[in-house]
Amino acid sequence: MAKQLHIRLDDAVYEALLEYNLETNSTAQDSIASAIMMFLKQQNKENEPGNADFRFIDLFAGIGGMRLAYEQAGGHCVYSNEWNKYSQQTYFANFGEQPDGDITKVDENSIPDHDVLVAGFPCQPFSIAGVSKKQSMGRATGFEDKTQGTLFFDVCRILKAKRPKAFMLENVKNLCSHDRGRTFKVITESLDELDYAVFYKVLDGQNFVPQHRERIIIVGFDRKRYGNNIEFSFNITPAVPKPLMKDILDKEVDSKYTLSDKLWIYLQNYAAKHKAAGNGFGYGIADPNGISRTLSARYYKDGSEILIAQEGKNPRRLTPRECARLQGFPDDFKIPVSDTQAYKQFGNSVVVPLMANIADLVRIKMQELDAGELVKGEISETLKAENCKKEVKKKTAIIKQKELAVV
């Protein structure tokens, strides 16, 4: 919810503000809000911890799931980008930083130097649900989706200009098979052409949270910096004991999350109709001692994919806080938006502890590669010194020979 703030401005500042508003076709409110955000972002940069292991940027940041993961691995975020205004609101509430907007309009050279580029570029053009919906509406999917499908190439644009040591990209499992594998081939070939060693694997979030959530993770390391002999393995360390649904549920929940009789009857009839047709569509009652289906951005519509049984009542949907836990967000993570927006945001987010596990692997590999470069540098300096000594001896011998010849 927006708050009102009354401020006093000197006449000179007020006149400058009016002139700026005319030039940019913006309101005084928007201009002041942007100025405050820029000031806070600058303060955040100035307060950068000196003990950070590495610097990273957070592209297509959403509400900051990747940022949480990489901060847990010892990184410091120096730039963030997210176009959705509601996600920006949640991001700011938790990190005190307003992400940049439209990435297609960002000058790649203006982005701060960083060690790792992190990006969960939009998955809707490639997800099973997104593709099915768009095809039914006669709309383009994948790279043919000009609004979201081509944003991957903005990642390439930034990689080319800034050449970070490493990157990590995240997307839906269906990215691998989209357009019979041609889409994924374009992605991996594009990254290879940028001279990065590329590694990828489909990983399931259920190793860290009680949710079946498969995602493709793509990791790369700069071959120009580290050479061609780079190896990397996704040796994740699953949580022990394995999380269960009952671990993330609240004991008392507002009655507004209980399904109405009308909606519950509709969901049962819908499931019965598709079952009779041999389809697997329908609602899902989560086992408290098991895991749930995949939480999606459409959860706000009816919550049918993950319902919680209630004794003597219709089942209920998860609360936004329970959705946050299902994705591995801590309980102190602020949710400043409506339930509808919160469901969309957590449905579009990542399994934080899984990403933190991978972030740690990326950090360790960078340290190993940097140490290798340091050793190479030391060996190179030693060889240079030895060559220098040999050259001095050689010149000294020549001088002595000339002196003897003169005598």
User: Per-residue pLDDT tens for 331-348?
Assistant: 999 999 999 999 999 999
Residues of the chain with CATH 3.90.120.10: 245-333
Residue 63 CB coordination number (10 Å): 33
Which carries the bigger pLDDT value, residue 299 or residue 401?
A: 299
Q: Which pLDDT score is estimated for 128?
A: 44
Owner of token pair 């498969």 = 214
User: How many Å from the N-terminal Cα to the C-terminal Cα in the chain?
Assistant: 97
Q: Which pLDDT score is estimated for 142?
A: 38
Alpha-carbon distance 200 to 218, whole Å?
A: 4
- Give mean pLDDT, residues 276-289: 86
Alpha-carbon distance 348 to 334, whole Å?
A: 16
Pick the CATH number of 1-47 from 3.40.50, 1.10.1220, 1.10.15, 3.30.70: 1.10.1220
Alpha-carbon distance 382 to 386, whole Å?
A: 6
Q: Which pLDDT score is estimated for 146?
A: 41
- Angle, helices 182-193/152-162, rounded to nearest 10 degrees: 10
Q: Spell out where 126-224 has E strands.
A: 166-172, 196-204, 214-222
Q: Which pLDDT score is estimated for 28?
A: 74
Tokens of 118: 């992190």
Percentage above 70 pLDDT, the chain? 76
Q: Which pLDDT score is estimated for 148?
A: 44
Tell me how long the chain is.
407
- Residue 380, H or E segment: helix 352-406
Task: Tell whether the model's pLDDT for residue 9 goes beyond 90.
Answer: no
Residues of the chain with CATH 1.10.1220: 1-47
Secondary structure of residue 342 in the 3-state scheme: helix
- Give mean pLDDT, residues 362-384: 75
Least confident of 11-15, 58-62, 246-250: 11-15
Is 123 among the residues known to form the active site? Answer: yes
Give me the CATH topology for the region 52-242+351-370. Rossmann fold (3.40.50)
Does the domain spanning 245-333 belong to CATH 3.90.120.10? yes
Q: Give the type of residue at 1.
A: M
Residue 407 CB coordination number (10 Å): 5
Whole-structure pTM over 0.85, yes or no? no
User: In which band, very low, low, confident or very high, does the pLDDT at 40 lie, cut at 50, 70 and 90?
Assistant: low
Can you spell out the DSSP letters for 27-66?
A: -HHHHHHHHHHHHHHHHHHHT--TT-SEEEEEES-TTSHH
91-144 pLDDT, tens digit each? 999 999 999 988 999 999 999 999 999 999 875 444 444 444 444 444 444 344
- Residue 134, H or E segment: helix 128-136
Candidates 123, 156, 176, 388; catalytic one = 123
174-227 pLDDT, tens digit each? 888 878 888 899 999 999 999 999 999 999 999 999 999 999 999 999 999 999
Alpha-carbon distance 85 to 75, whole Å?
A: 25
Q: What is the mean pLDDT of the chain?
A: 85
159-177 pLDDT, tens digit each? 999 999 999 999 999 888 8
Owner of token pair 């700026």 = 20
Residues of the chain with CATH 3.40.50.150: 52-242+351-370
User: In which band, very low, low, confident or very high, does the pLDDT at 51 lie, cut at 50, 70 and 90?
Assistant: confident
Least confident of 29-38, 55-64, 165-174, 384-393: 384-393
Q: Which pLDDT score is estimated for 352?
A: 98
User: In which band, very low, low, confident or very high, does the pLDDT at 22 lie, cut at 50, 70 and 90?
Assistant: confident
Least confident of 79-88, 192-201, 258-267, 278-287: 278-287
Which carries the bigger pLDDT value, residue 263 or residue 180?
A: 263
Q: Which pLDDT score is estimated for 122?
A: 79
Owner of token pair 């590495």 = 54
What are phi and psi for residue 186, nearest 5 degrees? -60, -40
